[in-house]
Chain A
Amino acid sequence: MNHGQARRADSHPASPRSSRHGSRGGRAAESTPASPDVAVPPGEEETADHGADTGEQPAPPRELVLAKAINAALRDELTEDAKTLLIGEDIGALGGVFRVTEGLQKEFGPQRVVDSPLAESGIIGTSIGMAMRGYRPVVEIQFDGFVFPAFNQITTQLAKIRSRTLGKVAAPLTIRLPYGGSIGSIEHHSESPEALFAHTAGLRVITPSNAHDAYWMTRQAIRCDDPVIILEPKRRYWLKGLVDFSTPAQDAFTAQVVREGTDATIACYGPLVPVALAAAQVAAEDGRSIEVVDVRSISPLDDETIARSAAKTQRLVVAHEAPTFGGFGAEIAARVGERAHHRLAAPVLRVGGFHMPYPPSQQEHRYLPDIDRMLEAVDRSFSYPRR
């Protein structure tokens, strides 16, 4: 299957209804480099040999693309714990279709970096068996839409093994799941299933939005004694950022204010964080001060941090790529409403996909939340008077 299409991410032509904010150069303000092809990262070094954290001095901070930051995290965990292993389709010699595991099989051998048969349920189910025996498997599912054949193993088995046995059997398994749209691919390659996993008790679900978080959240996920699903924002694999190898910014299971503001808050995660930051930049030129919260952890949800921000600015817009109906934004809106209703000037507004299967990607630019859609929601929020 051809997973890649030569379409530029985030550089779609302006939609006809975008004139309101288009004049402010909204889309152009987004700093993410476009990808010409999902499978071949442009102009990136072969390895991220920053020196594994083996008790010596950590490597100095280094600028890496997000995919290479994950690669470095995997290398460091494989180095430090002989019981950690990687398993997935095409992750060995090929290095994964996104090259996230590039070079690791050569370094650690085929028993530690395992090319699996093409069988998603098999990958998760066998990893559960290995985890029961004391291993820490890190699974790569090739694409979001292919996780569903393994959905049963994840929800009826992985999520429940610990509670079923009252903690006597652990399932410390990490599932890496490239997710989200805007890579110009075909059906089943652009979905956002976070709400399905967040709704399943027993799982943890996190999503980094930048290289530094990608490095540390991956390491923290692998070390966590619970099963963790890392939703990797695939359109951000080539987003460069400075990774400080000496210390994580914070715990993986918390939210973070990534831009301070006073007039409204946009809460989002993964692929949309750069969009929100760009929207905040555009709004600033209009004299509006937008705070941006990177939710980072879907389950557990750090609703306290989000509610605190919303209470401060009195306005909250929640954005994600998944359809809004029954989506995770509804959970955030409800929880923030419960915590801070009396502090809000406007209802929590949601920006997300439509109630339809992910569209053919020639139309995805009209489906996905962008700067204009976020700012439109901010405008709507401002149509309610301040308290």
Chain B
Amino acid sequence: MAHPDATGEEHAVQPIQLLAPDGTLAEHEVYSPYISQLGEQDLRDLYRLMATERRMDAEATSLQRQGQLALWVPALGQEAAQAGTVSALRSTDMIFPTYREHVMALHRGIRPDELIQLFRATAHSGWNPHDHAMNTYMVVLGAQTLHAVGWAMGIQRDVAAGGTDQGHGADELVLACLGDGASSQGDVHESMVFASSYELPVLYFIQNNHWAISVPASTQSRGPLADRAAGYGFEGVQVDGNDVLASYAVAAHLGGQVRQGGPKLIESITYRMGAHTTADDPSKYRSSEEVESWKAKDPIERYRRWLQAAGHADETYFSEVDQEAADVAADLRRAVQELEPLPLEEAMDAVYAEPHRQVETDKSWLKEYEAGFAEDGAPARGEGGAR
């Protein structure tokens, strides 16, 4: 099966697909064995993760529409690409995400109230990257691919020094996430040069969701992004990103090779069914026919059909998941209402590790200035939160 890109042209490369949109599973010599190793619980967990994130995502979109969030970045349609890939990693493999990896964040135990702080604009990040082996979201496109490669340079040196002092295994890998738009950034190119030259354990994960805001993937590249890897001296594979089983198997297979040293690249062919962010209107730049054609390839529906048909899950299970997802959405809504903005003083204290004269001066000035309002009989500004 070939995936038409946004211009309607067919890619020459055939993305790896195991699970067809109609829910039938095909055999693949290399990749099927990875699926047969998954137990029933693993198979169900993949569904739970996708369905829960989709529900939370819808809630966040509503919250933005109600003015509760500054912005939301929907992952609608990309659940399988992320769920399959993250499930193939070890919990100690560091992830360097973009700003859309909500499925991965949930999988890594990042709570809705932590995830939402960036979008609620109460803090720039709500979690400690070291606690979840997942870096903070990255707003500057492609910058994180270099950080991922540097992290991998650290792994390489830790291993050479006789082990790691962070409790990680010797055959750790790093997942460098990016989108089709970011693939045009110079940092991505530089990161691939470093990763290849130093034979670093980096798994590149491009979610080609076909649109960089309003610019189609064909403007980023006239050929498959997977083919770019060859130009740097390593392998790239295209996978059907709406097929959670293929996404899992390809990440497991290539990840295993990356652990032995040297980068690999996955181009996950998927589709962003919603807007780029809640700030844009996709109907202005793409046809409803295109969107409809991708709805027919929905990653969650497809997987649900197969789970049912193969007898891995029944209606009771799906109802349970729906309830859990509703609970997560409720948690998110509650968190949004309860979150307090980070006091400006704390943000000032975090700029430098060691005292800095100008920050100290600014901080004292602010304190005195705001105290002046209290002396006039009004409560001091900055106290009790700004909202």
Contacts and interface: CB of A to CB of B under 8 A. Distances in A.
A-B complex is real: yes
Interface of A: 82, 85, 111, 116-117, 119, 121-122, 124-135, 149, 152-153, 156-157, 160, 162-170, 172, 201-202, 204, 224-226, 253, 299-304
Given A133-B154, A224-B353, 4 more contacts: A126-B153, A130-B150, A157-B140, A160-B124
B29 interface: no
Contacts of A111: 156-157, 160
B352 to A, nearest CB: 5
8 contacts: A111-B160, A130-B154, A135-B154, A152-B140, A156-B140, A165-B124, A166-B123, A226-B354
B190 A121 contact: yes
Which 4 pairs from chain A and chain B are nearest by CB? Answer: A129-B150, A125-B146, A122-B190, A133-B154
B243 to A, nearest CB: 31
A119 B193 contact: yes
B190 A82 contact: no
Report which residue of A128, A130, A253 has the largest number of chain B beta carbons within 10 angstroms of its beta carbon. A130
Interface string B159-192: 0110001100000000000000000001100110
Contact of A132 (B147, B191, B197): B147
Interface residues of B, number: 48
B226 to A, nearest CB: 22
B154 A165 contact: no
B30 interface: no
Given A119-B190, A125-B143, A201-B351, A165 B129 contact: yes
Nearest to A170: B353
A125 B354 contact: no
Contacts of A157: 140, 143, 147
Contacts of B140: 152, 156-157
Interface of B: 123-125, 128-130, 135-136, 140, 143, 145-158, 160-161, 165-166, 186-187, 190-191, 193-194, 197, 342, 346-347, 349-354, 356-359
A122 B140 CA distance: 15
B194 A135 contact: no
Contacts of B160: 111
Contacts of A121: 146, 186-187, 190
A284 B143 CA distance: 53
Contact of A300 (B123, B145, B357): B357
B358 A299 contact: yes
Contacts of A124: 146
Contact of A163 (B145, B158, B351, B357): B351
B125 A128 contact: no
Report which residue of A121, A253, A303 has the largest number of chain B beta carbons within 10 angstroms of its beta carbon. A121
A126 B194 contact: yes
B310 to A, nearest CB: 41
Contacts of A165: 124-125, 128-129, 136, 350
A122 B193 contact: yes
A232 B152 CA distance: 30
Contacts of A117: 190, 193-194, 197
B129 A226 contact: no
B166 A168 contact: no
A157 B147 CA distance: 9
Contact of B124 (A82, A133, A164): A164
Contact of A301 (B152, B193, B357): B357
Contacts of B194: 116-117, 119, 122, 126
Contact of A202 (B155, B197, B351): B351
Contacts of B130: 168-169
